[in-house]
Amino acid sequence: MALSQTELLNEAKKLELQGLKKYPISPVFISKLDTLLNDAYAIRRPKPIDYHNRRDLIRILNAITKELYGEGHVIGVQAIMTARVPIIKFIDCGTGIECDLSVENRDGIQKSQILHLVSGIDERFQKLSFLMKAWAKAHNINSPKDRTLSSLSIIQLVAFHLQTRDPPIIPPFCTLFEDGTDPVIVVKRVKNYSEYGKGNKESLADLFITLLVKVASVENLWQKGLCASLYQGSWTSKLWDTPYISVEDFTDLSQNVARAVGREQFKEIYGCIHSSLCHLLSFSDGHIQGHQLVDLLFGSDSVSIVPRQIDTESNDESKANLPVPLNGHQTKRMRVSKGLKEKQQGEGWRGGQQTQGWKQHGNWKKGKEENKPMAGVEEHN
């Protein structure tokens, strides 16, 4: 039986305060962490060239039907018909980016438009969403197909966190939907909240830590009916058929956008949250350096954003005992490669010949030589 909303709110608030005491980060290291996170965002955020490449990819997709028996541009084509929104998954040969293609997904487009509008209220929303998704990808917990967190659930948890700060940074969505959920109407409402979060002076580092603490502290409350409601801008009480993590869909309150999370994956997600909080605490205590922390949070491919020489001294013994840094792109590709090996090489558009075929296209040659994936292409999981 679900606890009442009042009981859950009180319990969640109490546990969050206990969590903040458990992971005290000194103000000095908050400032350093803020620099690290802003640098991580700056180096990873989409650049104009990324959008150009995305448009180029769309052009290529439009031409695929004319090249079914030639040197195609995608491999690993899979039709996922059991999803709530049927999609076709494939991998772009030029970048290694895994893509999801859906048709007439107006609900998903509407949600994306609304979240984009809300992100204009305060830039911390966009930054924190981007970093949390990068964090989840580096830890391989951003794939509803694998029963972990969808991108939408991650972004909604970020929005919920900003709604529940004191003072709040973005408003409850019910105030934005007073005249309906059509993005054309919502954009007019959003303009009334352009200064909404100015009273909150928390840094990106403050919000990153407190979000992890918030989610960590309620680990045992989800199955008691705890649910994050962006519509209300507060915790609420609601039981679902899939109770592991509950994030109410802000346009369809009868849906849980985190419904894909399974029992074992729930444990995996929380293992990542707790280990990241421990790494943050180790950084605050001076046991690990900034570049090591960034590696542990976002993967070793981000190491170049942090100059080694500016870090404080670290304890050699603790350094030796550090876990092997994650590499988000590498682990993603390893998972994709494993899946492809299980399929016949001839599936899709000459899947077995694609690796050689795309090298002959000048548009992609440079990207392959540099071995750098496009940071700006979203994967709509």
Do 17 and 227 touch, CB atoms closer than 8 A?
no
Residue 153 lies in a domain: yes
In one-letter notation, the amino acid at residue 315 is N
pLDDT tens digit sequence for 120-163: 999 999 999 999 999 999 999 999 989 999 999 999 999 999 99
Q: What is the pLDDT of residue 56?
A: 75
Confidence of residue 51 (pLDDT cuts 50, 70, 90): low
- CATH code for the domain in which residue 189 is found: 1.10.1410.10
Residue 320 lies in a domain: no
Residue 332 in this model has a pLDDT that exceeds 80: no
Reduced DSSP (H G I as helix, E B as strand, rest coil) percent helix, strand, coil of the chain, to 5: 55, 5, 35
> How far is it, in rounded angstroms, from Cα 19 to Cα 185?
39
Sign of CA dihedral 287, 289, 292, 296: positive
Do 222 and 243 touch, CB atoms closer than 8 A?
yes
Confidence of residue 10 (pLDDT cuts 50, 70, 90): very high
pTM above 0.85, yes or no: no
Element (H, E) at 90: strand 87-92
Mean pLDDT is lowest, of 77-86, 203-212, 273-282, 329-338, for 329-338
> How far is it, in rounded angstroms, from Cα 210 to Cα 34?
13
Residue 188 lies in a domain: yes
pLDDT tens digit sequence for 84-124: 667 788 887 766 777 877 766 677 789 999 999 999 999 99
In the predicted model, what is the mean pLDDT of the chain? 79
> How far is it, in rounded angstroms, from Cα 173 to Cα 15?
25
As a whole number, mean pLDDT of residues 6-34 equals 93
Residue 72 lies in a domain: no
Residue 181 lies in a domain: yes
Domain count, the chain: 1
Report helix, strand or coil for 99. strand
Instruction: Report the C-alpha dihedral over residues 288, 140, 331, 51, rounded to 10 degrees.
Output: -100
Q: 36 lies in which domain range?
A: 5-45+105-298
Q: What is the pLDDT of residue 267?
A: 97
Residue 370 lies in a domain: no
Q: Which residue has the higher pLDDT, 24 or 372?
A: 24
pLDDT tens digit sequence for 163-209: 999 999 999 999 999 999 999 999 999 999 989 999 999 999 999 99
Q: What is the pLDDT of residue 135?
A: 97
Do 154 and 142 touch, CB atoms closer than 8 A?
yes
Residue 284 lies in a domain: yes
Residue 322 in this model has a pLDDT that exceeds 90: no
> How far is it, in rounded angstroms, from Cα 256 to Cα 228?
10
Residue 305 lies in a domain: no
Quote the tokens at residue 170.
């973005």
pLDDT tens digit sequence for 240-257: 887 799 999 999 999 999
Q: What are phi and psi of 235, to 5 degrees?
A: -65, 150
